[in-house]
Amino acid sequence: MNWHDRLPDEDDPELKRALSNFKASVDAWSENAMLRPRTAMKPVRHAWRLAAGWALGCAVVATTVSGALYERQHRQELARLAAARTSAEKAAQQRAMSIETDQDLLANVDSDISRAVPAAMEPLAQMMDTDQAENDATKHGTK
């Protein structure tokens, strides 16, 4: 037995009255719902979205500015190091040249000190050396 077999007869007046009452109540409810005044809801803007947008924008700007400042500082530091390296190289070259000139001056002083007579009196000293050599030779009898 299935549900088709259990359906009441269509000529049943009690069933017809119950169905018509149900239909009338649904129609009344629908009509009442359609006549009710409706209020349009204003779209809700979430303030946290606006705040989050501003915060994210500020974070992007701050990161960009700090990155640019860091890059500028880094380049200045590299330029300062390069200038210091160049000045150190120049100072080393000047010290090397100074040492060479100092060594030349010391060599000149050494040669000046090692002379028995001043450079202006050297011709006289040579004459004296030859006279002394002749005197020594005559004393010793080697002439």
Q: What's the pTM? A: 0.36
Q: What are phi and psi of 44, to 5 degrees?
A: -85, 120
> In this structure, is residue 13 part of a structural domain?
no
Question: Is the predicted pLDDT of residue 113 greater than 70, yes or no?
Answer: yes
> In this structure, is residue 6 part of a structural domain?
no
> In this structure, is residue 1 part of a structural domain?
no
Q: Which residues form the domain of 110?
A: 47-115
What is the total count of domains within the chain? Answer: 1
> In this structure, is residue 30 part of a structural domain?
no
How far is the C-alpha of 60 from the C-alpha of 42, rounded, in Å?
Answer: 32
48-90 pLDDT tens trace: 888 899 999 999 999 999 999 999 999 999 999 999 999 999 9
How far is the C-alpha of 33 from the C-alpha of 37, rounded, in Å?
Answer: 9
- Characterize 5-43 residue by residue with b for buried, 16 or more Cβ atoms within 10 angstroms of its Cβ, and e for exposed: eeeeeeeeeeeeeeeeeeeeeeeeeeeeeeeeeeeeeee
Q: Which two tokens stand for residue 141?
A: 């009898």
